[in-house]
């Protein structure tokens, strides 16, 4: 066996080990999330807002960060497709090339704040108030 073969075998072993570790840790987290609601315990309808918020945070920060970011961007595009919103953007001149990127980033930050902060926090209330104002 040559040196290149050994390196390839070690790299493959490390990669497979890493993938198995990630899988084990993800399933451990999944089991921890599901534990209070498994059969014979509490029904899902008894979940508190804090528990739902914790699950949402784990999903958007650990499991699907890119998918959640893309979903927020698509939500912005969808809002722009509503006829009344399009007329409003056109009337105020807010959908020009100079403002579009900044507007998208600002709105995504507000949505992220609403999704990630506890409902009783000041940052959540400020983000909701600002979103409603816009």
Q: Where are the domains of the chain?
A: 1-46, 48-134
For the question of whether the overall pTM of this predicted structure is more than 0.75, the answer is: no
Average pLDDT over residues 35-53: 82
- The confidence band for 24, taking pLDDT boundaries of 50, 70 and 90, is very high
Tokens found for residue 116: 């990630």
pLDDT at position 97, please?
Answer: 75
Q: What is the pLDDT of residues 46-105, one digit of tens each?
A: 888 888 888 888 888 888 889 988 888 887 777 777 788 778 777 877 677 777 777 778
Closest listed residue to residue 124, CA positions, set 49, 67, 70 = 49
């Amino acid at each position: 066996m040559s040196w290149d073969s050994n390196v390839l075998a070690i790299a493959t072993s490390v990669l497979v080990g890493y993938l198995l570790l990630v899988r084990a840790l993800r399933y451990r987290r999944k089991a921890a999330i599901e534990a209070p609601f498994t059969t014979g315990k509490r029904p899902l309808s008894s979940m508190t807002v804090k528990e739902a918020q914790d699950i949402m945070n784990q999903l958007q920060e650990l499991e699907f960060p890119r998918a959640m970011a893309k979903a927020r961007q698509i939500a912005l595009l969808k809002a722009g497709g509503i006829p009344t919103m399009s007329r409003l953007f056109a009337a105020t001149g807010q959908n020009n090339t100079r403002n579009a990127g900044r507007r998208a980033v600002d709105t995504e930050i507000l949505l992220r704040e609403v999704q990630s902060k506890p409902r009783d926090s000041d940052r959540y209330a400020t983000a909701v108030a600002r979103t409603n104002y816009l």
